[in-house]
Structure 1
Amino acid sequence: MDSRENAPPSSTSLLVSLRQQEAEVLARLQPLLTEHQLLPEHWRILAVLDEHPGTSMTLLAATAVVPAASLTRHVDRLVERALVVRRIDPDDRRRTVLALSPRGSAVARALSSVEAGTGSTTSRDRAAGARPLT
């Protein structure tokens, strides 16, 4: 059986293509997310904080594409699990910023490694010689 029969048909819609790529990446990440009891939103939060420690909640919501209304709940869970730490912003003591804990950094590195193995294109696109979106 040809593996292309199981692949969804390609689309010229950018949004459809992006969602298909997201689904493929999440399928690769899911075993590790399950192992660490993380949701995809948690991974996006960890990924942003790995690249940008000291990020505010407002900026984190926009960058990680997590609705502000649910971000506090997700961050609270990550803080409870000792993956993220809250700190007072040294430049504005009224503001809280977030960073990864050492444990959070280790989990982020493991997830980044799996994610990097997926590339930036779907398997169907790679087979067709497509370039990554980055």
Structure 2
Amino acid sequence: MTSRSHKLSTSRSLPIALLRAREAVMGPVRGMLADAGVTEQQWRVLRVLDEDGALDPTTIAERAVLLLPSLTRILQKLEEKELVTRARDESDRRRQIIEVSPAGRALIAANMETSRGILRDLRNQLGDERHEMLIDLLNDLTELET
């Protein structure tokens, strides 16, 4: 029989703390994205492509932290909305290259200041030092070998 003292309190549970933190960050962002007519995942794909240029789907999935089957559906929706374009790689005809369209760039530009403002507010609430420490700790966590 396990005593209550051996149970980990949910207030100190890393998975639950990460979920709470994600909601604290993404809650305000979701409103912006809803107004823009894109999902969180679509926004991540657009941002990765805008930042890194034209990429193949596997690279997009890695950089946007998405599973490849999910990315396939996301790219279809983005293509339907004319926010990305898809072309065959000239050097490897089996490979597709995805790029942000001018409409996609316009959507990013129209929402970037709001996005930056949301993240700036969070940084101000945490303070610069704690914000940088949090980013460092989260990056350390993702680099751990499991």
- Superposed CA RMSD in Å reads 2.7
Higher relative contact order (CA 8 A, sep 6+): 1
Q: Which residue of 2 aligns with 1:98?
A: 98
Give the total of aligned pairs. 123
Higher helix share: 2
Q: Does structure 2 retain, via aligned residues, the 8 Å contact 1:86–1:96? A: yes
C-alpha separation in 2, matches of 1:67 and 1:20 = 22
Query: 1:131 and 1:21, CA in 2 relative to 1: closer, same or farther beyond 3 A?
Result: same
**CA-to-partner distance for each residue in 1:87-112, whole Å, 9 max, x for gaps?**
22233222111111111011122333
Q: Which residue of 1 aligns with 2:120?
A: 119
**CA-to-partner distance for each residue in 1:37-84, whole Å, 9 max, x for gaps?**
211111111111111121111111111111111111110000000001
State the 4+ residue runs in structure 1 displaced beyond 6 angstroms.
Answer: none
Query: 1:17 and 1:122, CA in 2 relative to 1: closer, same or farther beyond 3 A?
Result: farther
TM-score normalised by structure 2 residue count: 0.69
TM-score normalised by structure 1 residue count: 0.75
Output aligned runs, 1:26-105, within 5 Å: 26-105=26-105
Identity %: 28
Higher strand share: 1
Q: Unaligned regions of 5+ residues in structure 2, if any?
A: 1-10, 137-146
Query: 1:37 and 1:54, CA in 2 relative to 1: closer, same or farther beyond 3 A?
Result: same
Q: Unaligned regions of 5+ residues in structure 1, if any?
A: 1-9
C-alpha separation in 1, matches of 2:19 and 2:106 = 27
